[in-house]
């Protein structure tokens, strides 16, 4: 029997992963029809919107890819069951957040959306269907999916693969077009090769790795744990640099020059954010405990604890430098997204830091080029307002600085690297501070303009 040829793909979940990933597959595989489905009619409508600058996910380059393929072989739809029925291959790319209640609350991943997707596939699929885990999942989740699919009635068959996604937000299109590797885990060689043939249209063969299912699932959690661990490691050293007069950027350059360590992911900052690092480590911690590996669980848990401490430490430092109180004081917050070049605020360090400052009575003037006011209101748990303990969104750095005792740089947007400090400092109430939690601003220029400057990791 020859390889099953994939002509029609369905992706369940039109989110940060499903949307960009399928757009690139459609772009690179013009002979394959790709349909992304979602329960959220609002999200699908936004993907289908005429104005490509208002897609539900902001990623540099995404608008161009969607513009090329949409309506040709890339479609966005709410017709979940019909699309599954017509598909040779179904990606499950739904959310897997940390459970908020019940067994494992606060650590285990909530698999209810994955389970629901598997049940829908079992019901709606026709003939032979390859089902691919794209979501990040606990080890051995494929077993659960296989069991659900095995209960399907009628003449259908399935092969389950794991194909975790390694893209980072802000660079998703570049990561997808030129991945370091594509990982496919599975037991069914024909299904593995059919999926490999899709990626093979633009990814070099040696970059397509094949493993067993469990290694693939665990590799994804492990990659995120290692990446997050590097950030907590460098942030811990940043605090040590501040205490001793060393400079964390010099230390990072010195250790990064060692090819065994490498230079990437050594930027000290306000702590890692994003929807995945914390969730995936907590999931790893939960699974380690489940298998009785207490020391291993405690080891990884510390990465998350250090991250919380880093966020808390920055809020406390701001308060302490502003004479011990921020009550009624204006603070301009530069950046709210969890990193630059995304509109995503999930687990953004800005949320925790702003909440701490609001609780102390600060008046925050927040500027972010991509995050909406309604998103900030949801994240901060209160609408925009006025007076002590309030926040408002402002369009530019100038308004953030107006009457402010301090500017607090939290997201490394490029525009914050080129601030005219003479002009901005003149708008602030003196003595004024720049707290740069990303070491992104031109500290020398800010100092020359009369500001006092704290830069993360600089002793
Ligand atoms: P997301 O919340 O942006 O999108 C998930 C989408 O799935 C939502 O639009 C939701 O409505 C939809 N959905 C949920 N249940 C559904 C169902 N039964 N039928 C149809 N649609 C359904 O999530 P995301 O950021 O795209 O992440 C998805 C998965 O990918 C997660 O497991 C995450 O850990 C993983 N991941 C995310 C990233 C990232 O950068 N965000 C990177 C790699 C891996
Ligand atoms: C991360 C991983 O990099 C991806 O490989 C993975 O696919 C993804 O998680 C996921 O599973 O969701 P992402 O969270 O989008 O991607 O972005 P990163 O670039 O990893 O940044 C995460 C956080 O760490 C951000 O808050 C960022 O500002 C921070 N960071 C990153 C630092 O503080 N210092 C660094 O040196 C690098």
Task: Determine if residue 292 is left, alpha or beta; phi over 0 gives left, psi from -120 to 50 gives alpha, anything else beta.
Answer: left
Q: How far is the CA of 139 from the centre of ligand 1 (A)?
A: 18
Which of 19, 38, 47, 166, when mutated, tests ligand 1's pocket best, judged by the most ligand atoms within 8 Å of its CB? 38
Q: Which residues pair with 186 in a beta bridge?
A: 161
Residues, the chain, total?
459
pLDDT, mean of residues 391-401: 98
Ligand nearest to the CA of 229: 2
Give residue-wise pLDDT tens across range 282-335.
999 999 999 999 999 999 999 999 999 999 999 999 999 999 999 999 999 999
Strands (E), 256-393: 330-334, 363-367, 390-393
Check whether 68 has a pLDDT greater than 60. yes
pLDDT score for 394: 98
pLDDT band at 4; cut points 50, 70, 90: confident
The Cβ-side half-sphere exposure at 163, using a 13 Å CA radius, reads 28
Condensed to tens digits (0 to 9), the pLDDT of residues 191-226 reads 999 999 999 999 999 999 999 999 999 999 999 999
What is the C-alpha to C-alpha distance for residues 189 and 184, in angstroms, rounded to an integer?
11
User: Of ligand 2's atoms, which has the minimum distance to the CA of residue 340?
Assistant: 28
- Whether 35 shows a pLDDT value over 70: the answer reads yes
pLDDT at 2: 61
CA distance 201 to 219: 24
Check if the beta carbon of residue 220 is closer than 8 Å to that of residue 195: no
Distance, in Å, from the CA atom of 172 to the CA atom of 216, rounded to the nearest integer, reads: 20
Q: Which helix (H) or strand (E) holds 69?
A: helix 62-69
Q: What is the mean pLDDT of residues 431-437?
A: 98
Q: 282, 304 in Cβ contact below 8 A? A: yes
The tens digit of pLDDT for each residue in 347-361 reads 999 999 999 999 999
In the predicted structure, residue 253 carries a pLDDT above the cut 70:
yes
Catalytic residue among 11, 69, 241, 276: 276
342 vs 345: CA distance, rounded Å: 8
Cα distances (Å, whole numbers) of residue 57 to 64, 366, 456 = 13, 21, 30
Q: Round to whole Å and give the CA distance between 339 and 345.
A: 8
What is the rounded average pLDDT of the residues 117-133?
A: 98
Quickly list H helices, 70-132: 80-86, 112-124
Measured in angstroms, how far is the CA atom of residue 192 from the centroid of ligand 1?
A: 23
pLDDT given at position 3:
66
- Return the ligand 1 atom nearest residue 134 CA: 30
Does 16 sit in the ligand 1 pocket, CB within 6 Å? yes
Q: Which residue has the tokens 């308004």?
A: 399
**C-beta 163 within 6 A of ligand 1:** no
Predicted confidence (pLDDT) per residue in 135-180, tens digit:
999 999 999 999 999 999 999 999 999 999 999 999 999 999 999 9
Residue 367 has pLDDT above 90, yes or no: yes
DSSP string for residues in 146-184: HHHHHT--SSEEEEEEE------TTSHHHHHHS-S-EEE
CA distances (Å), 303 to each of 25, 110, 230, 277, 294, in order? 34, 21, 9, 10, 15
pLDDT value for 285: 97
| 276 included as an active-site residue | yes
Atom of ligand 2 nearest to the CA of 276: 12
pLDDT at 1 over 60: no
> Tell me, what DSSP letter sits at residue 390?
E
Sign of the Cα torsion 441, 362, 344, 368 reads negative
Residue pair 404/337 in contact (Cβ under 8 Å)? The answer is no
Work out the pLDDT band at 124, boundaries 50, 70, 90: very high
Q: How far apart are CA 255 and CA 247, in angstroms?
A: 12
Q: Tens of pLDDT along 73-84? A: 999 999 999 999
The reported pTM is 0.96
């Amino acid at each position: 029997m020859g390889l099953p040829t994939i002509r029609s793909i369905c992706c369940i979940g039109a989110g940060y992963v499903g949307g960009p990933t399928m757009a690139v597959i459609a772009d690179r595989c013009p002979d394959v029809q790709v349909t992304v489905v979602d329960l959220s009619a609002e999200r699908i409508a936004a993907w289908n919107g005429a104005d490509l600058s208002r897609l539900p996910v902001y990623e540099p380059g995404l608008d161009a890819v969607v513009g090329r393929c949409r309506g040709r072989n890339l479609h966005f739809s709410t017709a979940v069951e019909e699309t599954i029925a017509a598909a040779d291959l179904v990606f499950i790319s739904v959310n897997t957040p940390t459970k908020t209640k019940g067994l494992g609350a606060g650590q285990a991943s909530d698999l209810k959306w994955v389970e629901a997707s598997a049940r829908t596939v079992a019901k709606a699929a026709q003939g032979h269907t390859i089902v691919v885990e794209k979501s990040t999942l606990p080890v051995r989740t494929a077993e659960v999916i296989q069991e659900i699919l095995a209960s399907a009635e009628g003449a259908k068959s399935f092969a389950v693969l794991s194909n975790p996604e390694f893209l980072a937000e802000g660079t998703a299109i570049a990561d997808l077009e030129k991945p370091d590797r594509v990982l496919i885990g599975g037991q069914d060689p024909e299904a593995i090769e059919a999926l490999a043939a899709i990626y093979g249209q633009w990814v070099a063969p040696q970059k397509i790795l094949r493993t067993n299912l469990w290694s693939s699932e665990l590799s994804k959690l492990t990659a995120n744990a290692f990446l997050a661990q590097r950030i907590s490691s460098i942030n811990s050293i940043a605090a040590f640099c501040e205490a001793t007069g060393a400079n964390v950027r010099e230390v990072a350059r010195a250790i990064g020059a060692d090819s065994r360590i490498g230079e990437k992911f050594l930027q000290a900052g306000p702590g890692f954010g994003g929807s995945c690092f914390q969730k995936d480590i907590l999931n790893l911690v939960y699974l380690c405990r489940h298998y009785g590996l207490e020391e291993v669980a405690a080891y990884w848990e510390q990465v998350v604890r250090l991250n919380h401490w880093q966020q808390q430490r920055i809020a406390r430092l701001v308060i302490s430098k502003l004479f011990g109180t921020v009550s009624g004081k204006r603070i301009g917050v530069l950046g709210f997204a969890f990193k630059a070049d995304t509109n995503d605020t999930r687990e953004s360090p800005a949320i925790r830091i702003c909440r701490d400052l609001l609780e102390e009575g600060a008046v925050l003037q927040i500027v972010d080029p991509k995050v909406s006011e309604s998103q900030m209101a949801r994240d901060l748990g209160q609408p925009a307002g006025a007076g002590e303990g309030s926040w408002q969104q402002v369009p530019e750095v100038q308004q953030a600085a107006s009457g402010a005792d301090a500017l607090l740089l939290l997201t490394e947007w490029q525009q914050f690297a080129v601030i005219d400090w003479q002009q901005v400092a003149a708008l602030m109430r003196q003595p004024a501070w720049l707290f740069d939690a990303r070491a992104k601003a031109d500290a020398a220029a800010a100092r020359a303009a009369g500001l006092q400057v704290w830069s993360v990791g600089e002793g």
